[in-house]
Structure 1
Amino acid sequence: MGFPVSLRVDDTVVPDGTGDAVFAWLREVDARFSPFKADSEVSRYGRGELPADELSADLVEVLDICERYRVATGGAFDIRLPGRGLDPCAVVKGWSVQRAAELLTGAGLSRFCLNAGGDVVVSGGPWRVGVRHPEIADRLCTVLDLTDGAVATSARYERGDHILDGRTGRPVTGLDSLTVVAPTLTEADTVATAAFALGADGVEWAAARDGCEVYAVLPGGRVLRTGGFPTAVAAAA
């Protein structure tokens, strides 16, 4: 799906092939769910070549998540935008990496950190996770201690204004970055993206989600955070 993935395991005993299974799963997800591959299940469905009753259970699950968040944001989060076709990547990334983490726990592992392009799911710990500054590439805006759970960030960096408000079709304004801590990466990643699509209103929306803690950087450097956000070290934004 176009993001680097790293895995660290601190368990004393690691079953043979566990890491290979994780990366094989992520490669499978890329082949099946990428909107940039003409023969993927997502692309075929988006073009109308694959009827809804022939979709895999995995894609049905992903599309159901997408629809729930579209409704919850009043259409700000939408995987069907003019000129973009069907693009569920905002959900697929966190969902697939969370499933990969479940492969690790299913293999009996309890101390690991799985990092997918800065979105992280951990077990055991605590693990120290840095959140990149939205404007300064080699700087962190905060660092958190996370024991069991996940953290994901949506921001303007790297791809610019790549997140659009589905209600207007225009790039989102009002936020520079928004980081969400949640029990799973499926939730953390989707809430972060959906909240970012809401603009400044997304901070309060994300904070109201059960089990979510939020750290947001607004234009001009103002920081908003929820009381339970597990900050270890704070840096001026």
Structure 2
Amino acid sequence: MWLLDTKTGALTNSKGSYAILSHVWSPSGEQTFQEVRALIPIPGLSGASAKIKDCCAFARGHGYSRVWIDTCCIDKTSSAELSEAINSMYLWYSEAVVCIVFLEDVDASQDPRNPHSQFRRSRWWRRGWTLQELIAPRAVLFVSRDWEPLGTKRSLADIIEQITGIDRSVLANDRPLNTISVARRMSWAAGRETTRLEDEAYSLMGLFDIHMPTLYGEGRRAFIRLQEEILRRIPDQIRIVVCHTRRRLAMPRSFGRAFGPLATAPR
């Protein structure tokens, strides 16, 4: 995996401890792997975007010399590297020393526990990929738009449970994910949005310990494939998943007789 040096901005393909960023991509775009690599001749991080510079400064200030940011630490021009990254994403988040959740639409002056706080209404809670980015890391630190700490996953577990429906025992790392039913895990994804249709499935692979090829362009077939893989691993629970979804897609008769229709989205 590529890691960004928090002092120089250099990208290195190496192992070791690292912080990891979780955020909502900007509609105007983010700096890519190629763009950040091209900045290496420029001293420090002077040519990097505000988000990358601020993330590196925050991580460096908390003692982390390297950070992983999805927008610039994956060479998305390589389909092989992109597929490997998507299949490894849950592992990478779980192995990070800390996950920094940057909430660009949240003010530090607001108390997250306020029933009408920006924290509760942040777009971050509605994105598909952020589900595994919340669950996988043991240490999660939420920061405001000004990179001021708001609290941790553990300290805010009761609030996060209210927002997401995710069991507090899972958020506190007291209960292994594989002890949670497939239906329950799938319900956490309901109502979340992804920019690419296929990511409705790809963003959930880590939650079920599934690895499969990523094929952008396959549309809702991706979610069917995900369920087929879950069926192979946990066959006794696939019927429950279907009951928790609304949309259906006709499958071959032999498949339907054996297992019933599979859903086309986690809704």
Tell me the TM-score normalized by structure 2: 0.30
Tell me the TM-score normalized by structure 1: 0.32
**Higher helix content, 1 or 2:** 2
Greater RCO, CA 8 A, separation 6+: 1
Higher Cα Rg: structure 1 or 2?
A: 2
